[in-house]
Amino acid sequence: MLRVGYIGLGIMGKAMARNILKAGFPLVVHNRSRSAVDELVSEGAEAASSPAEVAEKVDVVFTNLPDSPDVEQVALGENGIIAGAHPGLIFVDHSTIKPSTARRIAEKLGEVGVQALDAPVSGGDIGARNGTLTIMVGGDREALEKVRPVLEAEGKTITHIGGPGSGQIAKAANQVMVAAQMVAMGELLILAQKAGADPRKVVEAIRGGAAQCWTLDVKPPRLFAGNRQPGFKARMQAKDLQIILETAREYGVPLPSAAVHSQLFQSMVAQGLGELDNSAVVAILEQLADIHLIEEE
């Protein structure tokens, strides 16, 4: 039985760590804020005081952190994973970060004998709780097979994309589509309402046709109920879009619609709405159209 460490217990990370624990893996956890650690310790996990201590105690260490600098610090910084490295350790990063950062971390950890997998996920808080996430993996295939039993506690679809950084490239592609769906959903809801059609009936009608997607299946009921809480935070969607655009510039790829979507999510952050769900981008569209989306009474 693999000994597992988990660093980063936010909305997604805590649920994923809990599923690993429920699957029977011995679990060591670390997080900047203590409440999530205490919660998992009460369920059977062990607490560690630093990323280095986590790494020392486990066979595979997972991270789930906000951005590239956070992952780099936890992996390579003082008292980081690299300080607790030992032969056979595997590092799995579930964060969404720049592919170039993932490659740099893999190279540095490889120098001390640690195999690194970039393994971002998709499926939101619902997928994290239910253990049904999609996991996109870059790095050594043999290392992936060693940790696959743990990943199967978190997700239903696990795909090896290629070498280091390729999991993050797949996640960037995923987030291009996610942002487009959130914005398109907001646009169609506002259009329907302002043009005089019940947006709930419109969603009911088009979900059975070519417009069907996860976003239309999951998000409208929450919006109609007045629930704009995350989910997946809009500020994280904005951050992901910045990663996408920076990566696109590196490779000379024009992404015109992603650039527009980035501006809409940056507008949310600028207006103090960044902690809301990414589907709450409808708030920006409401302002532009001077109408508020109908909610259930």
Report pLDDT for 295: 83
- Environment class of 195 (CB within 10 Å of its CB; exposed 0-12, middle 13-18, buried 19+): exposed
Q: Boundaries of CATH 3.40.50.720 in the chain?
A: 4-162
For residue 118, list its beta bridge partners. Answer: 93, 138
The model carries a pTM of 0.93
Comparing C-alpha atoms, which of 149, 76, 156, 91 is closest to residue 121?
Answer: 156
Q: Boundaries of CATH 1.10.1040.10 in the chain?
A: 170-289
Report pLDDT for 224: 97
* DSSP-based three-state secondary structure for 13: helix
Instruction: Provide the Cα torsion 169, 139, 81, 87; round to 10°.
Output: 180
Mean pLDDT for each consecutive 10-residue tract of the chain (297 residues)? 97 97 98 96 98 98 97 97 97 97 98 98 93 98 98 98 98 97 98 97 97 96 96 95 96 97 98 98 98 83
Residue 136 CB coordination number (10 Å) = 25
Just give the CATH number of 170-289.
1.10.1040.10
Q: At what angle do helices 68-76 and 99-110 cross, to 10 degrees?
A: 0
Instruction: Report the catalytic residues.
Output: 171
Report pLDDT for 297: 59
What are the respective helix, strand and coil percentages of the chain, to the nearest 5? 55, 15, 30
- Phi/psi at 202 (5° precision): -65, -45
155 and 122 Cβ atoms separated by less than 8 Å = no
For residue 28, list its beta bridge partners. Answer: 5, 46
* Multiple choice CATH, 4-162, 3.40.30.10, 3.20.20.140, 3.30.499.10, 3.40.50.720: 3.40.50.720
